Structure 1
Amino acid sequence: MDRSRSHEEIRNRRTMNNKIPAGWLDYSPLNTWIENTRFVPFKCPLRWSILRNINKQDRFSLDDLIERMDNQGRKVGLIIDLTDTYRYYDYRDVEDMGIEYCKIRVPGHQDVSDKSCQKFFLVVNTFLRDNRQNDNLIGIHCTHGINRSGYFIVRYLIEILGQQPDDAIAAFNRARGHTIEKNIDDLRRRKSMNVSSSPSSDQEDDDYYIERDRPLPYSRPSIDPTLNDISSETSEMLV
């Protein structure tokens, strides 16, 4: 009896983990980067076990992201993941592509903390400092790549780069191809911080690849992902 219930729980968890995020199909994956910056916003890429449940033309994976940027003649050097879950893809797949990864967990439908924004500023400034010799882009995504992504990017444009709020909002909207819908009044109240954009020299703060931000979301399948399913229960993703 307990064994049967355990099997049912595993099956239910697999079904939940492989669900397409709500509203994900309603938005285009990617448009282009924000002019005069290295920011490129996009919706969250998904792993194969989720994508296989939707039509091919609607899929958007990490490979699709890289291909689309290659077609625009640019390379992504860092991905900042703002989703509040680890179920959408494995960060190790990002790093296997030679792309740096940073996770900042930001719950949806809630106010964004200043602490999270300060970490975002630090991560961006550190990457820019270490990549002066190239023009690699910083990919930013939440689930849809609009409201949370837009909030962080626009605050950076205003507070660090000194742009006017309406100009920063408009720049994001043009690049994303969708319009920020939330926190507009908050963004319009923001002002330039009038401080150097150089990141902190504090080693603990400067290291944004700390282990606690990078749990292993699931065991990689040892079989061809184009097959119908991953048979091993040990490959089931943990939320």
Structure 2
Amino acid sequence: MPPVIPDRWIPYKPCGKVIDGTRIICFKVPLRTSVQQGNSAITHIWDIPALLREIPKLGAVIDLTNTARYYNPRDLQEAGVLHKKILMPGRVIPPENKVTEFMDTVDEFLGKDCDFLIGVHCTHGLNRTGYMVCRYLRDRLGMPGKDAIKKFERARGYQIERKNYVADILGKKPPPPDLGNSTPVKPIASSTKPIPSSSAATESWSIVVKGGRADQRTGEMSDSGRSRRQGQSSGSTQKKF
């Protein structure tokens, strides 16, 4: 199936802010450059190079889209960014094993003593992304569901649209999934207060550094969430964080 612009992808701003108290940042899926070129409705290309410029300290990406057609993960890996794919259909509450896989992957990366960020995206970086991130904030960080939703929405700039996702995060019985796709984009008022990132530090994480500045991360997150080491760039030195 040839790549296409996903429905309702254009109206959403590409990237949110770092979620307060974490090193998690959420964004909509970056698309192949060729798909966006020549589309008059797109004023700024949002592809892998744009993502890396927007988030220079990006260390890993968790991709929650239910397809592999939007971009080539190798483009991230060649830039030293770890990539983890968790196939997740939209609109429905995911099975708990998917949620656990996501949370374990986040813990694995955030447990490393480094300043790099972990990025999370689905198609719009909002509903599936919001559900998984809020579950992590609630289940692993002990945050009340209501507060988790507020933190996510403030950082992303939009309200989570799927009522079944919101209800489940709040511990309520979720309504049947809305299988329609006509929900309007609902931006929320942005805060003028900058959202800081945390400096959590535990285990070591191998990265490649050039000129004293960390600019590549070795390895690739496998389906089990573990890291497979790749070759190092010539002229680079390995540093343990």
1:31 aligns with 2:16: yes
Give the drift of 1:54: 2.1
Give the drift of 1:210: 4.0
Question: Structure 1: where are the runs of 5+ without partners?
Answer: 1-12, 191-197, 200-206, 212-239
1:66-77 to 2 correspondences below 5 Å: 66-70=52-56, 75-77=57-59
> What residue number does 1:126 align with?
108
In the alignment, residue 116 of structure 1 is paired with which amino acid?
K
1:48 aligns with 2:30: no
1:95 aligns with 2:77: yes
Greater strand share, structure number: 2
3-state DSSP class of the match of 1:140?
strand
Match of 2:222 among 209, 215, 228: 209
Q: Percent identity?
A: 37
**Structure 2 CA distance, aligned partners of 1:33 and 1:128?**
13
Give the drift of 1:208: 4.7
> What residue number does 2:7 align with?
22
1:78 aligns with 2:60: yes
**Structure 1 CA distance, aligned partners of 2:80 and 2:120?**
16
> What residue number does 1:141 align with?
121
In the alignment, residue 142 of structure 1 is paired with which amino acid?
C
Provide closer, same or farther for how the CA distance between residues 156 and 210 of structure 1 changes in structure 2, counting only shifts above 3 A: closer
Question: Structure 2: where are the runs of 5+ without partners?
Answer: 173-201, 204-219, 225-241
> What residue number does 1:62 align with?
48
Give the drift of 1:171: 0.3
3-state DSSP class of the match of 2:15?
coil
C-alpha RMSD over aligned residues? 2.0
> What residue number does 2:155 align with?
175
In the alignment, residue 149 of structure 1 is paired with which amino acid?
T
3-state DSSP class of the match of 1:139?
strand
Figure out how many residues of one structure are paired with residues of the other and give that number: 176
Give the drift of 1:35: 0.8
3-state DSSP class of the match of 1:50?
helix
**Structure 2 CA distance, aligned partners of 1:53 and 1:164?**
45
The TM-score, its normalising length taken from structure 1, stands at: 0.69
**Structure 2 CA distance, aligned partners of 1:119 and 1:25?**
29
**Structure 1 CA distance, aligned partners of 2:59 and 2:55?**
11
**Structure 2 CA distance, aligned partners of 1:111 and 1:53?**
36
The TM-score, its normalising length taken from structure 2, stands at: 0.69
Q: Does the 8 Å CA contact 1:18/1:49 hold for their aligned counterparts?
A: no
Match of 2:136 among 156, 170, 175: 156
Greater helix share, structure number: 1
Question: Hey, which bits of structure 1, 4+ residues long, moved more than 4 A?
Answer: none
In the alignment, residue 65 of structure 1 is paired with which amino acid?
L
Structure of higher CA gyration radius: 1
> What residue number does 2:92 align with?
110
3-state DSSP class of the match of 2:119?
strand
Q: Does the 8 Å CA contact 1:82/1:149 hold for their aligned counterparts?
A: yes
